[in-house]
Chain A
Amino acid sequence: MAFMIQISFAQEKSVSGTITSAADGFPLAGVNVIVKGTTRGVQSDFDGNYTIKASANETLVFSFVGMKTTEKSVGGNSTINVLMQEDAAALEEIVIVAYGTEKASNVTSAIQSVKAEDIEQVPNASLDQILQGQAAGLNIQTSSGQPGASGTVLLRGRNSINGNTEPLFIIDGVPVDEDNFRSLNSNDITNVSVLKDASASALYGNRGAGGVIIVTTKTGKKGGGVKVAYRTQYGKSTYNDPGFEVMNSEQILNYQRANNIGLGAGKSDAYIAALANSVNTDWKTIFFRKGTTNSHEVNITTGGDVTTSYNSIAYLEQEGVTARSKIQRFTFRSNVSTSLNDKLDVFSNITINFSKNNLPQGALNGGGDLDNPFLAPYTALPFFSPFNPDGSLNINGNPYSRGEVDANGVPTGTANINGFLNTPYLTLNTNALNSEDENEMKIVGRIGGNLEIAKNLSIGSSIGVDYQHQEFENIVRPESIRGDITPDPNSLIKGSLFEGYQRNAAFIANTNANYSNVFNEVHDFDFTIGLEYNKSHFKDYGFVGYGLDPKLVGSGSGITSGSVTEGDDEAQYYIPDVYGSTFNDGLFSYYAVGKYDYDNRYGLQASIRRDAAARFSNTNRWGTFWSVSGKWNIHNESFFNKDGVINELKLRASYGVAGNQRVGGAFNSRSLYSSGDGYNGTIGYSLAQIANPDLKWEETAQLNLGLDFSLLKYKLTGTIDVYSKETTDLFIAKPLSLLSGTTSINANLGSLTNKGVELSLNYRILDGDFKWSVNGNIAYNKNELTNLGENYSDPILAGGGTALAEGYPIGTFYRVRNAGVNPADGTLLYFDADGNITNVYSTANRVLLDKTQDPKYVGGFGTDISYKGFSLNALFTYAADQWRLNGSYGLIEDTSLAGFLNMSTAVLRAWQQPGDVTDIPGYTAASLRISNPTDRYLEDASFLRLRNVSLSYSLNKDMLERTKLFTNVRIYVQGQNLLTFTKWRGFDPESNIASTFFEYPTPKTVTVGFDVEF
């Protein structure tokens, strides 16, 4: 889009005019007006006006993206107004590729772009989650509904067992932490390019094995003038309905009575009826809340002849769906680009952001911890009231829940306020009193320039940084229930304060030289060489102080001195814990890439790079990565009839190799000792790590074949890609005899493959006033471990009920199969390894199931409808054939816990007497979820979700003109995750882990928004 404006001498006159769109009559800004056969040109201003010097014998060429190029002879005219017609065939996109941009028709590799309009306004504070369903082959799932929480991004399957599997994220040329986007404003983004194949990623060969996602933020347009926009959003979030039901008071009390456990044991009908009538708490309504979202943003875009800029400042505040869950974020961005003269361009991008995050679930209260707020909606007993008699929330429990009296009201002489029975109150208490916060400063910036040193030859250089500073704080207040046992049940002063600091600064410097030229108008050459330097500096430190002065809670000065002793024993309860660590990492690379395009028909690209990683030993430090790719624009051949059914057809092929060095620990090639606590209060030296000096890069080779097409008068466009990836020198935890002191050592032993197909389609059903299009994408990926390096007697257990075995995908579940309940005695039955039913549980009967943690199919589909100022957009996303162990639900079918936990209503159909045919074992047979794990709670977590839906209205031109102030006004209402279809029994089928246990479910959110532009 960059356009040269040159001053020249001639006998010229001034020609001016207004350029408008033939379709809607709006003025068109930014239209290129060029004098044919020269490099003289201007762009139309914001009102569509232009002025250019031209001679009478010259011709003006008007061109604009998406419009038919129009030519007008100057002749005697001094005013030339132009109506520009839309040109579907010329919707020539610019695609952002590694280290630059390219015309879509020139692209030789598998790249998919996501545009700003698909990203903006989605009320999700983490960019990666917004991308879900937007590009074929991207599988993004999260197991936290905390606002701003990052998901796990898998592009075309898992490439590694023990190394990084996520794509490399590049924001404006700076590689950033792929697990932390909460402090970045996704409204600043203009384009996200997903680079899927080896050709696209070989330029990031040292980190591109998992694909590359390039994020580009907004800039001003030369001659675009000044635009100011204000945007705001307000909305509410709430939980998705769970796919299960828990017992009410009457049901659980009767169940307890029937089995002589808990409060219900030995109680009369009258007692149960009276209690059930007075208290029947639905705890999910207590622990979930409606969270409020609101945001404000002002951005200023400028476009002069020399300098363009985009500046934004925004505030977002989003509450999660449970108490203490919140993000508050200030973001600031400034992108400036200046052409100092016609040889030198300089640019800078900087974003400075600060976010405050309040977390409901952290180190101290996740998983099975009793004050995990997502535990209580499953397990809290319904006959406990959440309220005090005065109507306030009860944060201390009752005598029975605290264990002060037994089920019959008899004092026990002891108490356990941290016990199972007190679960809901303990959670309410922690919610009300304690806090866990993370404050984050994140700066991503880059400054650089390009200098044309000779015709067609330029050099460029840039330096960028991804800087993250995080402060962690956790307060356990002295008067809280958790405070009662902190630092010690016996200490007189209670409570603790954790403060932690973490800094990571990752620098990148790049210098390159580029030569490009076109010979004979058809031979288009482009050649680049470059050097790249990466270094990251990590440091963290912190402390936990104990014994807080109730008047100074949260302040370091409220901490009791470590030298204070108590009692005759002179016990030292208040010795603070301190920690600190430092870690640096580095990469150094040089690379070359060449492109050749012939007549916009044939294209070829080749790249090669050498990369060195600090984490490998001197001998294995360097890796060589390369790629070749080509394209054939069949529709540009003379034999091709563009006016037939097929309007465009492009064939692509690529092959290349990329590396992964983020595998294993940082210094795995060295043997290390650590200094730590020794026996009896001494210092001890112990082995920390055994060296494997032979470690080297994991390498992923990928073959991709793609077809881009346009059919039915350009209405149906689409892309099909097939790929085959093989990762070799795969890091395997090579098993060692435990006599070595460790279970394994990382070694480059294995290999795996990912093979798949991706299809994206977009169909414009209606054009004109009433526009309607539908789109969809689907991706299938098959992962297979082809070599684990050694012969193992059994599959290697890999956590979450999964195992690694040759011939099977990563994340394959390895379980004994449940065969239901024996009608004769109500005990659980199993299948043995051969498929025969048995009542004997044995882990020898575990089998590798055809069920995996990662979905086999992922994708999305949606529709865009617009009529005049109205538009409706909807996006559904789905993941199919994905499985997960449902530990959360398993807990409420574990009847051995029914004395102090609520149970699923499924337990009501438990086996009672011989002959009962049911899926729930008898009470005495027990759930055995822990001792005899099977596939009983291995559930289908496939889902279809209405990810985003929005309805908007933009004021039309007449109304805007009457305001004499606004150039654009838009209001909209938008919903996220409004509908979910799944068999999963829980609050949320989405997750990035194989085995779930009370994670924070993602919410549904409805917002209304308002945008104005001046």
Chain B
Amino acid sequence: MFALSSCNDALEILPEDNIPAEVAFQSVADLQNGLNAIYRQYSPFNTIDYGSTFTDDTKIGADNGGQKVAFHNWVLNPGSAEAQNMWLNDYATINSINRVLAAAETITPLESQQQQYNKILGDCYALRAFLHLELLSYYGVSFDAAAPGIPYSDFVVVFEQLPRLTTGEVFERINEDLDTAFDLIDPSYTDVGYVTRDFVTAMRARTALYSGNSAQGLAATQTLIAEYPLADQLQYVNMFGDDSDNTEVIFKLYRIAGTNDQIIGGVWYFTGTGGAFLEMSNEFYDLISANPSDIRFPVNVDLATTDPANNVHNIGKYLGKGGFNYINDIKVFRVSEMYLIRAELLAKGGDYNGAALLLKQVRDARTGSSTVQSSFSTLQAAINEILIERQKELAYEGHRFVDVRRTNSITNAGFERADADCGGGTPCSLAASDNRFVFPIPLAETNGNTVIEQAPGYN
């Protein structure tokens, strides 16, 4: 008897600090908790890191003790942390989404909960599309429809091993998820910190730009350009400074000062001490400072600490708010991007004039004056100018690497760092043909997934 009871006492032990999976989701409120975790799980840090550290927008900072040096030096292989960071974060978030979607099937909402229930599902589908597009833009072998893309995860993967779909198939799935989401999300939801119908439209525009679906992109950008004005100079400053202006913001991720939310300035700064281990490159500084009246100069450069005479150029886009340094909302979709998407689609369709006009509209808003409209005679010229405008407008927002990668078949250009930004261990150029324009499937994935094909040049 004693033996039996002590046996049970020693062996029947349940976790006290965690929730057993079988009871985690039992109500709409639980599903909402699941969605709350999903929004937080996605880390925009990766694309902002890759889009700056791995490009010509940064240089090694004065206070670098070895941080991010290898990645900045374009050291990238299946074992690199960066090969895994985005892949794991995005797919793990997708896995969480699929778990909430699966759990939702077992829950019947009350009538009063139906709209919230649908919104939860809609957000899940929209974010699933968003995450797959981000993955595709780094890990897809190219943007051609027939090229190897990425696995599309639309169920709860545990032991399954999924192959790459073609890029075309991935785009198709993304659009299906977007359509599902659009129908589920009630138009009454307008908080730009959450998925809305406009988020879905913006996603359609970006997806169309990457897939080359001009009709879809033009329609989507038209809708959004009509709805959202471009920010004026003061609004632009406030949009990035203290996140108070949302004039042209379609979607952003809230980051609340003084909480455990990720501090985005940490991509380049020691956030406690303020030393920069990565700085703005001389190349980008020269570009952005060429017109000091362009509001993007003071927004991107931390003028208080930048000292060009001593080769100190600090990134100023995320200097913090609310009394806290380096923490800001992450702008994911802004209407200026819609202008630039539309311009690129028009240029690719041969409407160089239309493209030039959209570029001028963005520039006018940023400089607070009427600028000269360019005229292009070739697609390459138009794309080159659009790329420069995107570099300035979307700097440190996670676009630069993907922009150069997806257009290098037209521009025939990779990255060229300025002499002041490279040398020593830091290479100056990454040729357009370099295999590192496709991120490798991380080693951990190929270890656990025997059916996925590695990107070219990494075997």
A and B bind: yes
Interface residues of A (CB under 8 A from B): 368, 406, 412, 414, 416, 418-420, 485, 488-491, 509, 531, 533-535, 566-567, 569-573, 575, 581-588, 590, 612-615, 621, 666-667, 670-691, 734-744, 790, 792-794, 796-797, 841-844, 894, 896-897, 924-932
Query: Once the chains bind, are B34 and A571 in contact (CB under 8 Å)?
Result: no
A588 neighbours in B (Cβ, 8 Å): 6-7, 10-11
Task: Scan residues 125-178 of chain B and give those whose CB is less than 8 A from a CB of chain A.
Answer: 151, 153, 157-162
Query: Is the CB–CB distance between A489 and B7 below 8 Å?
Result: no
Q: A931: which B residues are within 8 A, CB to CB?
A: 69-70, 73, 75, 425
Is there contact, CB below 8 Å, between B10 and A533?
Answer: yes
Chain B residue numbers with a CB within 8 Å of A412 are: 307, 310
Answer whether A677 and B259 are a contact pair too, CB < 8 Å, given A672-B19, A739-B151: yes
Hey, which chain A residues are within 8 Å of B419, CB to CB?
none
Is the CB–CB distance between A686 and B96 below 8 Å?
Answer: yes
**Taking the nearest CB of chain B, how far is it from the CB of A511, in angstroms?**
8
**Does B297 count as interface, using CB distance less than 8 angstroms?**
no
Measured CA separation A349–B159 after assembly (Å) = 51
C-alpha gap A717/B273 in the complex (Å): 63
A740-B159, A741-B91 as given contacts; A490 in contact with B25, CB under 8 Å: no
Contact pick for B259, options A420, A535, A681, A841, CB 8 Å? A681
Pairwise interchain contact A742-B69, C-beta atoms closer than 8 A? no
- A614–B19 touching, CB < 8 Å: no
**How many angstroms between the C-alpha atoms of A567 and B322 in the bound complex?**
9
CB distance from B312 to the nearest CB of A (A): 9
Which residues of chain B are within 8 angstroms of A570 by Cβ–Cβ distance? 322
By the criterion CB–CB under 8 Å, are A685 and B17 in contact? no
- A690 CA / B24 CA spacing, docked (Å): 13
Q: How many residues of B contact A (CB 8 A)?
A: 92
Give the residue name and chain of the B residue nearest to A928 (CB).
B425
The answer to whether B17 touches A490 (Cβ under 8 A) is no
Residue A680 contacts which of B19, B87, B256, B425 (CB distance < 8 angstroms)? B256
Supposing A535-B9, A743-B444 touch, asked if A685 and B41 sit within 8 A by C-beta, the answer is no
What are 27 pairs between A and B in contact, CB < 8 Å?
A414-B305, A418-B274, A418-B275, A489-B274, A571-B324, A583-B17, A588-B10, A612-B10, A613-B11, A671-B21, A673-B18, A673-B20, A674-B17, A677-B261, A678-B40, A680-B254, A682-B33, A684-B33, A685-B30, A686-B96, A738-B448, A740-B157, A741-B92, A741-B95, A741-B96, A896-B425, A931-B73
- B9 x A667 contact (CB < 8 A): no
Write the chain A residue with the least CB distance to B242. Answer: A569
Q: Give CA–CA (A681, B66) in the complex, Å.
A: 34
Given contacts A582-B17, A685-B37, A737-B452, 20 further A-B contacts (CB under 8 A): A418-B275, A419-B275, A567-B323, A588-B7, A614-B13, A672-B19, A673-B19, A673-B21, A677-B40, A677-B260, A682-B33, A684-B41, A686-B34, A687-B21, A735-B448, A737-B157, A740-B157, A743-B448, A894-B66, A924-B424
Q: Nearest residue in A to B157 (C-beta to C-beta)?
A: A739
B164 → chain A closest CB, angstroms: 12
Q: In the assembled complex, how far is the CB of residue B85 from the closest CB belonging to chain A, in whole angstroms?
A: 11
Given contacts A572-B258, A676-B37, A677-B260, contact A738 B87 (CB under 8 A): yes
Which chain B residues lie closer than 8 Å to A930 at the CB level? 66, 69-70
Q: Does B3 contact A (CB under 8 A)?
A: yes
Q: Interface digits, B264-302 against A, CB 8 Å rule (1 contact, 0 not)?
A: 000000101111000000000000000000000000000
CA distance A679 to B77 in the complex (A): 32
Q: Are A420 and B65 interface neighbours, CB within 8 A?
A: yes
Out of B75, B257, B321, which one reaches A932, CB within 8 Å?
B75
Cross-chain contact B256 with A690 (CB below 8 angstroms): no
Taking A416-B63, A735-B444, A744-B448 as contacts, is the C-beta distance between A667 and B37 under 8 angstroms?
Answer: no
Interface pair B15/A736, CB less than 8 Å apart: no
Contacts of A794 in B (CB 8 A): 78-79, 443, 447
Question: Is the Cβ of B88 less than 8 Å from the Cβ of A743?
Answer: yes
Residue positions of B touching A, CB distance < 8 A: 3, 6-7, 9-13, 15-22, 24-25, 30, 33-34, 36-41, 60, 63-66, 69-70, 73, 75, 77-79, 84, 87-88, 91-92, 94-96, 99, 151, 153, 157-162, 193, 242, 253-254, 256-261, 270, 272-275, 304-305, 307, 310, 321-325, 423-425, 442-449, 452
Cβ 8 A contact of B442, one of A738, A928, A929: A738
The smallest C-beta distance from A463 to any residue of chain B, in angstroms, reads: 11
Which one of B24, B79, B275 contacts A685 once the chains associate, using CB atoms below 8 Å?
B24
- Most interface-central of A685, A686, A790 (chain B CB within 10 A): A685
CB contacts (< 8 Å) of A744 on chain B: these are 444, 448
Q: Which residues of the other chain, B, contact A675 by a CB distance below 8 angstroms?
A: 19, 33
Q: Which of B24, B257, B261 contacts A571 (CB 8 A)?
A: B257
CA distance A20 to B205 in the complex (A): 103
Interfacial chain A residues near B304, Cβ < 8 Å: 414
Decide: B66 and A929 in contact? CB cutoff 8 A.
yes
**Cα A675 to Cα B65 with chains together (Å):** 36
Contact of B160 among A571, A584, A737 (CB under 8 A): A737
By the criterion CB–CB under 8 Å, are B160 and A680 in contact? no
Closest Cβ of chain B to A867, distance in Å, is: 56
Give Cα A965 to B40, complex, Å: 76
**A740–B15 CB distance below 8 A:** no
Cβ–Cβ contact A687 & B36, under 8 A: no
- Cross-chain contact B17 with A418 (CB below 8 angstroms): no
How many whole Å from B69's CB to the nearest CB in chain A?
5
Q: Which of B34, B258, B305, B447 contacts A575 (CB 8 A)?
A: B258
- What's the Cα separation between A684 and B31 when bound, in Å? 9
Give, as a whole number of angstroms, the nearest-CB distance from A221 to chain B.
36
Q: Closest CB of chain A to B375's CB: distance in Å?
A: 44
Closest chain A CB from B37 CB (angstroms)? 3
Nearest A-chain residue to B162, judged by Cβ:
A739
Q: How far is the CA of A20 from the CA of B154 in the complex (A)?
A: 89
Interchain CB contact under 8 A, A680 and B39 = yes
Inter-chain contact B96/A687, CB cutoff 8 Å? yes
- Is the beta-carbon distance between B447 and A735 smaller than 8 angstroms? yes
Q: How far is the CA of A585 from the CA of B304 in the complex (A)?
A: 56
> Is B21 in contact with A533, judged by CB distance below 8 angstroms?
no
| A685-B19 contact, Cβ under 8 Å, with A535-B10, A612-B11, A680-B193 | yes
Smallest Cβ-Cβ distance to B68: which chain A residue: A930
On whether the beta carbons of B323 and A566 are closer than 8 Å, the reply is: yes
- Report the bound CA distance from A790 to B450 in whole Å: 11
B36: contacting residue among A488, A679, A741, A797, CB under 8 A: A679
Q: Which residues of chain A are near B305, meaning CB under 8 Å?
A: 414
Residues on A with C-beta less than 8 A from B447 are 735, 790, 792-794, 796
Q: Which residue of B lies closest to A686 (CB)?
A: B37
CB atoms of A678 and B33 under 8 A apart = yes
A928 to chain B, nearest CB (A): 5
3 pairs of A and B residues whose beta carbons are closest in the complex:
A571-B323, A684-B37, A678-B36
Known contacts A682-B36, A735-B444, A738-B87; A666 and B15 CB within 8 A of each other: yes
Docked complex Cα distance between A490 and B261 (Å): 18
- Give the distance in Å from the alpha carbon of A682 to the alpha carbon of B36 in the complex: 7
- Minimum CB–CB distance for B313 against chain A, Å: 14
Interchain nearest-CB distance for A37 vs B (Å): 44
Nearest B residue (CB) for A590: B3
Complex CA distance for A682 and B151, rounded to whole angstroms? 31
Q: In the complex, what residue of chain B is closest to A665 when comparing beta carbons?
A: B15
- Beyond A419-B273, A420-B275, A679-B39, is A742–B11 a contact (Cβ under 8 Å)? no
A674 touches B33 (CB 8 A): no
Q: A612-B11, A685-B33 are known contacts. Are A737 and B448 too (CB-CB below 8 A)? A: yes
Q: Which residues of B contact A927 (CB under 8 A)?
A: 425
Q: How far is B64's CA from A516's CA once the two chains are assembled, in angstroms?
A: 72
Q: Would B6 and A679 count as touching, CB distance under 8 A?
A: no
Chain A residues closer than 8 Å to B63, beta-carbon distance: 416, 419-420
Whole-angstrom CA separation of A534 from B259 in the bound complex: 41
- Asked if residues A679 and B324 are in contact (CB atoms below 8 Å), the reply is no
Q: Is B77 a contact of A683 with CB atoms below 8 Å?
A: no
Which residues of the other chain, B, contact A572 by a CB distance below 8 angstroms? Answer: 258
Contact partner of B158 among A489, A583, A681, A740, CB < 8 A?
A740
Residues of the A chain whose Cβ atoms lie less than 8 Å from the Cβ of B69: 930-931
